[in-house]
Amino acid sequence: MKAIQVLKPGNAKCLVYATVPKPTVAAKSILVRNAFSGVNYIDTYIRTGLYPTKMPAILGREGSGIIEQVGRDVHGFNIGDRIAYLATENSYAEFCNVEPKSAVKLPQNVSLEVGAASLIQGLTAITLVRRSYQVKKGDTILVHAAAGGTGRLVVQLCKHLGATVIGTVSTEEKAAIATGLGADHIIYYTKEDVAEKVRGYTNGEMVHAVFDGVGKNTFQGSFDSLKRCGTLVSFGNASGKVPPIEINMLSKGNIVLLRPMLYSYIATPEEFSAANTELFDLISKKVLDINICKQFDLKDATLAHEFIEARKTTGKVLLKIAHQ
């Protein structure tokens, strides 16, 4: 079968469209004929070596498709079911083995495209606003990269929960998108001082929480934008890894600092199922609009990574999997 492999860390050009053995189904797994693979920022971290992994590796942590075979110890799934799933690292491929505990049958009204586009960014957004910091009516929340894939979902959820949202973006086009999603105020964080703008928008009150997936370039501004006892949720590295911090800095205002990973919020079948139920319910009620901003063919995974790293995303990037 065809798959996208990384042989050794590098830039997007190091991705190889390779022929590799088709996996065989294991007793406790499901073999999926992939239709779409979701492209995530984390795939670039694995490709560059920021998150070390054993190489050669097939990239890809989520996807959707049709079940081709079911392992003999698997219950609750059947050949032909339409599913979306989280994978350890292998969805940029025609087929992959998936653990049943990380798979979800797609509701009839959810397409394979939307299924592949929903899980990582959608579940991340839900767990950020529910568990990292419980967003409440009346809160003021700062959301970085408010027009990006995860950011736009966080904005929609914060508005749904009754918060005032200040969104940061790099361009006017992205400002229009974030405003359209409900953001009350916009900061152009590549040229404006974030904390000063927050001070102005909040009459000096500052914000209850910051959701920051940008990392290195925004960390200090996020910290300086918080009110006393505020919460800084640093959940990504789009601009690079946040340098080590001095813990005593948190005592200025009793700041709560989190560096969450989605997987530890959905580690049990109950947690995964509850988060998925909420996700697809919010999608069907149109509270969450899953925007697929670009699709590439599997063989063009290099272009997909370059697209993300050139900060062109205004939603989800997918790889479309053709079968030979």
Note the residues at the interface with ligand NAP (CB under 6 A).
40-42, 120-121, 124, 145, 147-151, 169-170, 174, 213-214, 217, 235-239, 260-262, 308-309, 311, 313
- Closest CB to ligand NAP among 30 and 147? 147
Nearer to ligand NAP, 261 or 322 (CB): 261
Residue 34 vs 127, nearer CB to ligand NAP:
127
Q: Which is nearer to ligand NAP, 182 or 213 (CB)?
A: 213
316's tokens: 């989800």
Q: How far is the CB of 215 from ligand NAP (least distance, A)?
A: 6
With 0-12 / 13-18 / 19 or more C-beta atoms within 10 angstroms meaning exposed / middle / buried, residue 27 is exposed
Instruction: List the Cα angle 41/56/79 in 5-degree steps.
Output: 75
Name the burial class of residue 248, with classes exposed (0-12), middle (13-18) and buried (19+) by CB atoms within 10 angstroms of its CB: exposed
Q: Give the nearest distance from C-beta 22 to ligand NAP in angstroms.
A: 29
Using DSSP, state whether 292 is helix, strand or coil. strand
β-strand pairing of 103-105 with 82-86:
antiparallel
Residue whose CB is less far from ligand NAP, 253 or 260: 260
Residue 316: closest CA among 169, 121, 179? 121
Closest residue to ligand NAP, Cβ-based? 236
> From the CB of 66, what's the least distance to ligand NAP, in Å?
25
Minimum distance of ligand NAP from residue 236's CB (angstroms): 2
CB of 120 to ligand NAP, least distance (A): 5
Compare residues 111 and 239 and give the one whose CB is closer to ligand NAP: 239
Q: Taking the C-alpha atoms of 20, 25, 29 and 30 in order, what is their torsion angle to the nearest 10 degrees?
A: 80
Neighbours of 287 (CB within 10 A): 15
Task: Identify whether the C-beta of residue 231 lies closer than 8 Å to the C-beta of residue 210.
Answer: yes
Nearest to 14 by CA among 51, 53, 39, 44: 44
Distance in Å, CB of 150 to ligand NAP, minimum: 3
